[in-house]
């Protein structure tokens, strides 16, 4: 039966049909949406938008695709989960661009994830300026991630470890016997090292500082490992006398240099606490061979436009583009006509770019090596080189253009992806798709407007339109009213979260939503802002930051009011996060004499090296600090790195839950203590998956998937642990509950309910208690931190620092969040937050607008004042949008 009405041109035809979707909270949903259109999925957080767009439509498309390419994978896909839906028809192949969740490859950069870096390496290989007599290098010779290209001294990391004397010997007035060498092992091994030194003729009973430098250096830095007979616990004189007298040595011992001990232990220990212990003696310095540029010197001697590849990759992308445009222009002016014709006929260089190996030490295999021109070792001929310049530079410009259009021209190719926000990363992926020339696919996107200033949102809409014009469909989960208004079709899911949602309230062209009473989206799209007009509070106290420098901030002076709600806004890349999330907590924390946040000291090798690469904050702060005792920075960093941490453990409520279980009569009879109900320690948890509930399955050529643990069926626990029930549920069933459900279940248990209510109030009622921290989006992680903070007793002396707290929130959830923040301010606290939603900014007390542009074109304070004052600024890019929101 074909329902398609072809004679009515004005109405969009819904071609993709979903019947009986029941994924997660979806209530047997039927849905029809059009292809070749921008379809926006809206609804409050937890209503089921993602379950529909990602969990059902995308998952099904993915499943079909995998089935068609790899029959053997079917079994694995079945294990990984098939969407719960009766049928889907008319769905084209799908590409999903989701916000990054959890950890990511620490070595990847803007250049590597966009694959632009491989083109740049080709450019340097073929079109670079070589020093005289140097032979031509392969493209891989320019990569720090290949054995051929990596700097041999630092293995391509750019930094090397140092174990400085003042860290190993913090108190040089002590003698070795008094444990001057703090980095030595404790107990018998330390005694042994001391005795060996005595046997080698060192005096361990003089203060460290009085030992000759030569001796100190040997003791700390030697790589020799002498093995000698030892007299236990003697002074140098006693030992020498004993030896002279021919006394029997106590034993034979081996010496290991203090530095070597630290490095060996750091590299080899399996114990995290041991690793952390020795890590305190490590620092890193830029590699002396490559000066932090990570590649070998021959490669660094090749230049393009006067820059080596490291400096080239460090340029902001918009500058890089201008430089390349100039190079193309120059080349085309110089290139002889016949060569240009040859090039046009496709007889010039032929090359194919490969994916960059992003894992440290990944060998470049045959698959990623590009086809080289025949004349590989001879320097390229001038004409050939001009042709290569023109061709490769043009290719690079084509790739860079959409990234710049999406407002990311301030990034550089060498920027590490872990320092990007989720929104930036997603837009980068989106830009990469634009050059992939795919058509006939559905792009499924998760809030592409995240992190975008309203001024930049227009560019995003242009890019989405471009994808659509090329014959693709766009399914977008969004909260931005601007994007909703631009949609061809809107699907509103709700009305509430979790079991209160999961229905499609409306599916059709945008205007039609105006008549759907039940929809919470409707009011924001067609009515007023939703927030009551706010009279700004008057600040009475200020702190003054001066000479603040970090990233693109250079000597910035800014005053921050205390006791009110301040919003810092500005175009993407203007420096909001640098100022608010990085500098402010650090400078004030310093002033208060403590670090703002207790971060665990880094443990992984790479982390120490990178930790010291993060930019430095400079600046001073003055003012009356009597009102601030604490600084709490609530950021979007993940709350845990393993699937074993989750919101129940993070907020502390799981401690109470475990105690409830241990207090049951049956647990007492069996002698089960609270630890028995933990999945973080051995005892009651499933030994196969060690409490994770899932095990990883490696797939050839495909990303590995996690599948349910076969032994505990995903419950994380041994069956004996699960036999203990509290109010009729076992501990695993409790972890499966959403916050909302748990609120009902734990009725009367005030300590548990306090945490749950705080989570619900932060708009997280839909999260499951056991939801792994690695699955939370940056915005969710931030709200979990906020909720954890809100459940504490409020004292009114805290400075809260937040970075785009409304990301991922429906307008109605954002309203609730803001009213919570207002309560905190009413209680005497200070809130300073980065925000881009003008609706929210209009409800602030004070606004600091940054700009004027992004990157080096930003970093300045453009306008300050009440929202109404900033709205009248002629300099501020935010002003017109803010003025509209204040109406």
In the list ligand ADP, Zn ion, none, the entry touching 709 (Cβ below 5 to 8 angstroms by class) is: Zn ion
Footprint of ligand ADP (CB under 6 A): 24-25, 43, 45-51, 410-411, 415, 419, 497-498, 551-552, 570, 572-578, 614-615, 738, 766-768, 855
- CA-nearest of 583, 611, 615 to 599 is 611
- CA-nearest of 426, 433, 532 to 473 is 433
In the list Zn ion, ligand ADP, none, the entry touching 719 (Cβ below 5 to 8 angstroms by class) is: none
Shortest Å, Cβ 149 to ligand ADP: 23
Q: How far apart are CA 738 and CA 499, in angstroms?
A: 10
Residue 750 found at the interface with Zn ion (CB under 5 A): no
Q: Which is nearer to ligand ADP, 25 or 61 (CB)?
A: 25
Q: Residue 809: CB partners within 8 Å, gap ≥ 6? A: 45, 479, 763, 779, 817
Q: How far apart are CA 376 and CA 853, in angstroms?
A: 43
Helical (H) or strand (E) element with 51? helix 49-52
Q: How far apart are CA 872 and CA 883, in angstroms?
A: 7
Q: Which is nearer to ligand ADP, 16 or 667 (CB)?
A: 16
Do β-strands 251-254 and 227-230 pair in parallel, antiparallel, or remain unpaired? antiparallel
Q: Which is nearer to ligand ADP, 767 or 773 (CB)?
A: 767
In the list ligand ADP, Zn ion, none, the entry touching 572 (Cβ below 5 to 8 angstroms by class) is: ligand ADP
Q: Which is nearer to ligand ADP, 24 or 192 (CB)?
A: 24
Residue 712 found at the interface with Zn ion (CB under 5 A): yes
Shortest Å, Cβ 83 to ligand ADP: 11
* Neighbour tally for 749: CB within 10 Å: 16
Shortest Å, Cβ 812 to ligand ADP: 12
Q: Which is nearer to ligand ADP, 236 or 416 (CB)?
A: 416
Q: Which is nearer to ligand ADP, 169 or 786 (CB)?
A: 786
In the list Zn ion, ligand ADP, none, the entry touching 287 (Cβ below 5 to 8 angstroms by class) is: Zn ion
Q: Which is nearer to ligand ADP, 561 or 573 (CB)?
A: 573
* Phi, psi of 826, deg, nearest 5: -60, -30
Q: Which is nearer to Zn ion, 192 or 313 (CB)?
A: 313
Shortest Å, Cβ 22 to ligand ADP: 11
Q: Which is nearer to ligand ADP, 630 or 708 (CB)?
A: 708
In the list Zn ion, ligand ADP, none, the entry touching 768 (Cβ below 5 to 8 angstroms by class) is: ligand ADP
Residue 688 found at the interface with Zn ion (CB under 5 A): yes
Binding pattern to Zn ion, positions 253-292, x when CB under 5 A?
----------------------------------x-xx--
* Phi, psi of 207, deg, nearest 5: -55, 145
Q: How far apart are CA 805 and CA 778, in angstroms?
A: 10
Contact 723, 733 (CB under 8 A): no
Residue 707 found at the interface with Zn ion (CB under 5 A): no
CB environment 324-335: b (16+ within 10 A), e (fewer):
beebbeebeeeb
Shortest Å, Cβ 300 to Zn ion: 10
Contact 409, 403 (CB under 8 A): yes
Contact 546, 620 (CB under 8 A): yes
Q: How far apart are CA 294 and CA 154, in angstroms?
A: 7
In the list ligand ADP, Zn ion, none, the entry touching 113 (Cβ below 5 to 8 angstroms by class) is: none
Shortest Å, Cβ 558 to ligand ADP: 14
Q: Which is nearer to Zn ion, 76 or 289 (CB)?
A: 289
SS3 sequence of 276-297 = HHHHCCCEEEECCCCCCCCECH
* Phi, psi of 117, deg, nearest 5: -60, -35
The residues with which 97 forms a beta bridge, in sequence order, are 445
Select from 196, 404, 686, 758 the one that contacts Zn ion (CB under 5 A): 686
In the list Zn ion, ligand ADP, none, the entry touching 153 (Cβ below 5 to 8 angstroms by class) is: Zn ion
In the list ligand ADP, Zn ion, none, the entry touching 51 (Cβ below 5 to 8 angstroms by class) is: ligand ADP
In the list Zn ion, ligand ADP, none, the entry touching 605 (Cβ below 5 to 8 angstroms by class) is: none
Structure tokens at 498: 């979790």
Measured CA to CA in angstroms, residue 332 lies from 186, 223, 288, 325, 501 at distances of 69, 57, 40, 11, 60
Residue 315 found at the interface with Zn ion (CB under 5 A): no
Shortest Å, Cβ 186 to ligand ADP: 37
Burial class of residue 22 in the structure, from the number of CB atoms within 10 Å of its CB (0-12 exposed, 13-18 middle, 19+ buried): middle
Q: Which is nearer to ligand ADP, 89 or 614 (CB)?
A: 614
In the list Zn ion, ligand ADP, none, the entry touching 62 (Cβ below 5 to 8 angstroms by class) is: none
Residue 299 found at the interface with Zn ion (CB under 5 A): no
Shortest Å, Cβ 362 to Zn ion: 18
Residue 153 found at the interface with Zn ion (CB under 5 A): yes
Q: How far apart are CA 187 and CA 200, in angstroms?
A: 20
Q: Which is nearer to ligand ADP, 766 or 846 (CB)?
A: 766
Using only the alpha carbons of the chain, give its radius of gyration. Answer: 31
Shortest Å, Cβ 640 to Zn ion: 19
Q: Which is nearer to Zn ion, 677 or 881 (CB)?
A: 677
3-class DSSP state of 445: strand
Q: How far apart are CA 857 and CA 852, in angstroms?
A: 7
The DSSP symbol for 492 reads E
In the list ligand ADP, Zn ion, none, the entry touching 48 (Cβ below 5 to 8 angstroms by class) is: ligand ADP
Shortest Å, Cβ 772 to ligand ADP: 10
Shortest Å, Cβ 317 to ligand ADP: 10
Q: How far apart are CA 607 and CA 314, in angstroms?
A: 21
Q: How far apart are CA 21 and CA 577, in angstroms?
A: 40
Q: Which stretch binds Zn ion (CB under 5 A): 143-151, 174-182, 303-311, 758-766?
A: 143-151
In the list ligand ADP, Zn ion, none, the entry touching 711 (Cβ below 5 to 8 angstroms by class) is: Zn ion
Helix 382-405 × helix 454-469 angle, to 10° = 120
Shortest Å, Cβ 353 to ligand ADP: 25
Half-sphere exposure for 439 (CA within 13 Å, toward CB):
7
Shortest Å, Cβ 50 to Zn ion: 26
In the list ligand ADP, Zn ion, none, the entry touching 738 (Cβ below 5 to 8 angstroms by class) is: ligand ADP
Structure tokens at 496: 């509430």
Q: Residue 473: CB partners within 8 Å, gap ≥ 6? A: 16, 34, 35, 36, 37, 39, 92, 441, 442, 443
Shortest Å, Cβ 125 to ligand ADP: 27
For Zn ion (CB under 5 A), the number of binding residues is: 12
Helical H segments across 200-271, by residue range:
213-221, 236-244, 258-268
Q: Which is nearer to ligand ADP, 149 or 575 (CB)?
A: 575
Q: Which is nearer to ligand ADP, 312 or 410 (CB)?
A: 410
Structure tokens at 206: 């003089």
Shortest Å, Cβ 157 to Zn ion: 7
Q: Which is nearer to ligand ADP, 163 or 420 (CB)?
A: 420
Contact 157, 332 (CB under 8 A): no
Q: How far apart are CA 328 and CA 399, in angstroms?
A: 15
Which residue ranges make up the site for Zn ion (CB under 5 A)?
Answer: 151, 153-154, 287, 289-290, 686, 688-689, 709, 711-712
């Amino acid at each position: 039966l074909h329902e398609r009405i072809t004679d009515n041109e004005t109405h969009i035809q819904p071609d993709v049909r979903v019947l009986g979707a029941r994924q997660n909270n979806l209530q047997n949903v039927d849905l029809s949406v059009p292809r070749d259109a921008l379809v926006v999925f809206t609804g409050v957080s937890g209503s089921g938008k993602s379950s529909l767009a990602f969990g059902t439509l995308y998952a099904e498309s993915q499943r079909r695709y995998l089935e068609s390419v790899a029959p053997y994978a079917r079994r694995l896909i079945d294990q990984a989960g098939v969407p719960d839906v009766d049928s889907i028809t008319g769905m084209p192949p799908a590409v999903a661009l989701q916000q990054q969740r959890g950890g990511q490859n620490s070595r990847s950069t803007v250049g590597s994830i966009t694959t632009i870096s491989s083109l740049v390496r080709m450019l340097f290989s073929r079109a670079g300026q070589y020093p005289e007599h140097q032979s031509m290098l392969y493209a891989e010779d320019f990569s720090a991630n290949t054995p051929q290209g990596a700097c041999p001294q630092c293995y391509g990391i750019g930094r090397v470890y140092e174990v400085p004397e003042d860290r190993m010997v913090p108190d040089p007035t002590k003698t070795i016997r008094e444990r001057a060498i703090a980095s030595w092992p404790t107990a018998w091994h330390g005694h042994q090292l001391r005795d060996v030194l005595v046997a080698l003729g060192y005096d361990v009973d003089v203060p460290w500082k009085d030992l000759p430098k030569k001796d100190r250096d040997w003791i700390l830095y030697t790589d020799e490992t002498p093995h000698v007979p030892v007299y236990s616990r003697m002074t140098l004189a006693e030992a020498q006398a004993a030896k002279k007298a021919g006394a029997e040595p106590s034993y034979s011992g081996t010496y290991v240099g203090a530095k070597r001990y630290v490095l060996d232990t750091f590299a080899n220990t399996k114990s995290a606490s041991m690793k952390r212990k020795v890590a305190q003696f490590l620092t890193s310095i830029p590699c002396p061979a490559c000066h932090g540029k990570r590649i070998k010197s021959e490669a660094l001697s090749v230049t393009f436009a006067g820059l080596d590849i490291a400096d080239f990759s460090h340029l902001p992308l918009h500058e890089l583009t201008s430089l390349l445009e100039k190079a193309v222009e120059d080349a085309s002016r110089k290139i002889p006509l016949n060569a240009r014709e040859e090039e046009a006929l496709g007889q010039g260089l032929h090359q194919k770019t490969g994916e960059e190996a992003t894992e440290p030490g990944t060998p470049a295999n045959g698959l990623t090596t590009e086809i080289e021109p025949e004349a590989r070792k001879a320097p390229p001929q001038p004409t050939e080189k001009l042709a290569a310049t023109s061709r490769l530079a043009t290719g690079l410009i084509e790739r860079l253009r959409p990234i710049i259009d999406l407002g990311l021209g301030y990034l550089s190719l060498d920027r590490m992806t872990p320092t990007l926000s989720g929104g930036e990363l997603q837009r980068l992926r989106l830009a990469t798709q634009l050059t992939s020339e795919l058509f006939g696919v559905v792009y499924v996107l998760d809030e592409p407007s995240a992190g975008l200033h309203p001024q930049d949102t227009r560019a995003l809409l242009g890019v989405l339109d471009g994808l659509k014009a090329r014959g693709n469909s766009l399914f977008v989960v969004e909260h931005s009213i601007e994007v909703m208004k631009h949609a061809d079709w809107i699907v509103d899911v709700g009305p509430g979260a979790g079991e209160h949602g999961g229905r499609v309230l409306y599916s059709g062209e945008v205007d039609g939503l105006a008549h759907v009473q039940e929809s919470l989206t409707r009011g924001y799209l067609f009515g007023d802002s939703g927030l009551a007009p706010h009279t700004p509070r008057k600040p009475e106290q200020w702190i003054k930051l001066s000479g603040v420098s970090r990233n693109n901030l250079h000597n910035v002076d800014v005053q921050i009011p205390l006791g009110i709600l301040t919003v810092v806004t500005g175009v993407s890349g203007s420096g909001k996060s640098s100022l608010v999330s990085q500098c402010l907590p650090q400078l004030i924390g310093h002033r208060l004499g403590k670090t703002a946040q207790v971060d665990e000291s880094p443990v992984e090798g790479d982390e120490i090296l990178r930790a010291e690469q993060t930019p430095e904050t400079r600046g001073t702060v003055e003012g009356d600090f009597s009102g601030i005792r604490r600084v709490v920075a609530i950021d979007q960093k993940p709350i845990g790195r393993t699937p074993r941490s989750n919101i129940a453990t993070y907020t502390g409520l799981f401690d109470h839950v475990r105690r409830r279980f241990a207090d049951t009569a049956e647990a007492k009879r069996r002698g089960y203590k609270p630890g028995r109900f933990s999945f973080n320690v051995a005892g009651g948890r499933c030994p196969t998956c060690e409490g994770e509930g899932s095990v990883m399955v490696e797939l050839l050529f495909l990303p590995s998937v996690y599948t349910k643990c076969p032994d505990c069926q995903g419950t994380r626990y041994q069956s004996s642990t699960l036999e203990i029930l509290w109010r009729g549920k076992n501990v695993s069933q409790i972890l499966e509950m959403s916050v909302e459900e748990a609120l009902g279940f734990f009725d009367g248990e005030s300590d548990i309910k306090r945490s749950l209510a705080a989570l619900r109030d932060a708009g997280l009622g839909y999260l499951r208690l056991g939801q792994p921290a690695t699955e939370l989006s940056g915005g969710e992680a931030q709200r979990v931190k906020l909720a954890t903070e809100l459940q504490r007793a409020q004292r009114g002396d805290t400075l809260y620092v937040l970075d785009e707290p409304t990301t991922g929130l429906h307008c109605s959830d954002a309203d609730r969040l803001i009213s919570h923040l207002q309560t905190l301010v009413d209680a005497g606290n200070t809130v300073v937050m980065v925000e881009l939603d003008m609706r929210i900014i209009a409800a602030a007390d004070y606004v600091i607008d940054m700009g004027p542009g992004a990157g080096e074109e930003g970093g300045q304070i453009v306008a300050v004042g009440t929202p109404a004052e900033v709205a009248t600024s002629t300099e501020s890019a935010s002003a017109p949008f803010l003025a509209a929101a204040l109406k």
